[in-house]
Amino acid sequence: MAYEKLLNEIYAAVSLKYLWKEYEPYFVKSESPDWINPNMDFGLEVSQALLPDDGQEESFIEKYLGCRKEELPPLAFDKYGERLNFYNGRFWAILPDNTVQQDYLSKAKYRFDRKLEKLNANYIHKHYNGLYLFLHPTDENDIDAGALFEYMRYTQEKKKMRFDRVFLNCVKTIYVCNYENNTIEPIVLPPNAENFLNTEAEYLRNCCDWKDGTALEMKRGDESF
């Protein structure tokens, strides 16, 4: 499933705020990386496991996210059909094409490689550098998190700059790859957590323009799932 870039970034930060046991407030919006946490001296880049050919769908989402069904161009229904996903009556995402084999491992490897190149080029480095990667599986059993963990460890072994933490979002589970301790641990989302995080991310996405320097804060009281 492909989502709009900013919504992804906010969802990633919100999910870590509520679920990651190492988290300390607070995330601040940035660019390269997408978030900086001054108190943790931590930078977080957010991305999706997409290949270059998936870019057309991503561009469509960037343009029409949040539009009502009747506001989408008729050709979109011919092209994407039931893959168009709506949330609260508004366009939210494009579901995977189940007629096409989804090679999540290849997509994740490709995107990790690109982000590792970026980390070693035009990037604001912090003491700890993190990557949050949405894998968007149709079936979480398809994801071999251990194999991906080893691939990322080996790939960045000889790089000057490395990702200290990589978060693999598999919808119901977020795998935390810790390359300081060489461990991988799952965060299993509690009941109702996915709906809460989606709702919170959508609300925050629309509450301001998210210029660089904007802090992620809870804006509607103490809520939980």
Same domain flag for 107 and 141 = yes
For residues 183-192, average pLDDT: 95
Distance, in Å, from the CA atom of 56 to the CA atom of 76, rounded to the nearest integer, reads: 12
Helix (H, G, I), strand (E, B) or coil at 68: strand
The answer to the question of residue 225 being in a domain is no
Angle at which helix 145-156 crosses helix 104-119, to 10 degrees, equals 30
Q: Specify the pLDDT at position 20.
A: 98
The CA-atom distances, in angstroms, between 159 and each of 154, 163, 171 are 10, 10, 30
Flag whether pLDDT at 27 surpasses 90: yes
Same domain flag for 84 and 166 = no
Q: Which domain holds residue 77?
A: 55-94
* pLDDT over 90 percentage in the chain: 58
pLDDT tens-digit series, residues 42-68: 999 999 887 655 667 778 887 888 889
Which tokens hold the place of 179? 């390359």
The answer to the question of residue 224 being in a domain is no
Longest Cα–Cα distance in the chain: 51
DSSP secondary structure string for all residues of 145-209: HHHHHHHHHHHHTT-SS--SEEEEE-SSEEEEEETTTTEEEEEEPPTTHHHHHHHHHHHHHTTS-
The answer to the question of residue 214 being in a domain is no
Give 139's DSSP letter. S
Same domain flag for 78 and 14 = no
Q: Specify the pLDDT at position 1.
A: 46
Same domain flag for 61 and 44 = no
Domain's final residue, options 63, 94, 125 = 94
The answer to the question of residue 43 being in a domain is yes
Q: How confident is the model at residue 4 (pLDDT cuts 50, 70, 90)?
A: confident
pLDDT tens-digit series, residues 99-155: 555 677 888 998 999 999 999 998 999 999 999 999 877 667 778 899 999 999 999
Q: How confident is the model at residue 219 (pLDDT cuts 50, 70, 90)?
A: low
Distance, in Å, from the CA atom of 119 to the CA atom of 124, rounded to the nearest integer, reads: 8
- CATH code: domain of residue 110: 3.40.1350
